[in-house]
Amino acid sequence: MSLTALPDWPYPPLIAHRGGGVLAPENTLAGLRAGRAHGYDMAEYDAKLSLDRVPLLMHDDTVDRTTDGTGAAAQKTYAEMAALDAGSWHSPPYAGEPVPALRAVARYTLANGMASNVEIKPCPGREAQTGTLVAQAVRELWREAARAPLLSSFSETALAAAARAAPELPRALLLEAALPHDWLERLRRHGCIALNMNERHITAEIAERVRAAGFRLGAWTVNDPARAALLRDWGVDSLITDRIDLLRP
């Protein structure tokens, strides 16, 4: 197999999932602080739009699981989202923790020298708009950053829109299942530098193929130290983990 030069990868081998993994409420500033306190200098988190198109952090399409509210995230204004309690579901020490705007997260990561993997997580039907507006926001908010945030998405519509809006930002394609036959074509189509795969579907052979083709490889969500060591041996560039207490940078 002929080797292609790998793109720059200014990111660390360990990345905290959804901010600070399971030690703090996901997609909050408290989560980022937990990651920082455990020595992490990069976090992955999920960005979507409020009804009035403000980029903010939330994983699900509804606010039900991770806040004290109910209903679709896409039907709430930023002011309504910011008034929710996004911490009590996790544990009492985090009661009152707000849903953060992407702007606040940029401030925190820049002030603390943390790198970011902004996963573009559109609500249904808002794929292109979310890709465009999140990429534009990242370009503006992180313009002084030493390391540009890595944009990633399962939505190829969102990735394509992000590539059009801010072509200079690095991108990764997220894959949930086994490596599809057209993986290389899809990475090239969206100008990606990396593939971020569900760790369950990564083998030594896949890691070698992806990296030999000139792409970086990320794995999520890796919570077992023995599995983490194996993936590192296979050449996986970065592991995204919920267990920031077990996998130590």
Mark whether 17 is an active-site residue. Answer: yes
| Geometric angle at alpha carbon 189, from 187 and 193, rounded to 5° | 40
Between 44 and 237, CB nearer to ligand G3P: 44
Between 65 and 77, CB nearer to ligand G3P: 65
Residues 9-28, interacting with ligand G3P (CB under 6 A): 17
Residue type, 234: W
**Residue 130 binding partner per list Mg ion, ligand G3P, none, with a CB distance cut-off of 5 to 8 Å that depends on partner kind:** none
User: What tokens does 133 get?
Assistant: 């507006």
| Geometric angle at alpha carbon 83, from 110 and 150, rounded to 5° | 30
The closest alpha carbon to 192, from 160, 219, 220, 165, belongs to 160
Site string for ligand G3P, 130-169 (x = CB under 6 A): ----------------------x-----------------
Residues 49-88, interacting with ligand G3P (CB under 6 A): 59
Mark whether 181 is an active-site residue. Answer: no
Kindly state whether residue 220 participates in binding ligand G3P, applying the rule CB under 6 A. Answer: yes
Between 43 and 226, CB nearer to Mg ion: 43
Q: Where on the phi/psi map is residue 153: left (φ > 0), alpha (ψ -120 to 50), or beta?
A: beta
Q: 3-class SS at 115?
A: strand
Query: Are the C-beta atoms of residues 8 and 168 closer than 8 Å to each other?
Result: no
Q: Return residues touching ligand G3P (CB under 6 A).
A: 17, 44, 46, 59, 119, 152, 174, 196, 220, 240
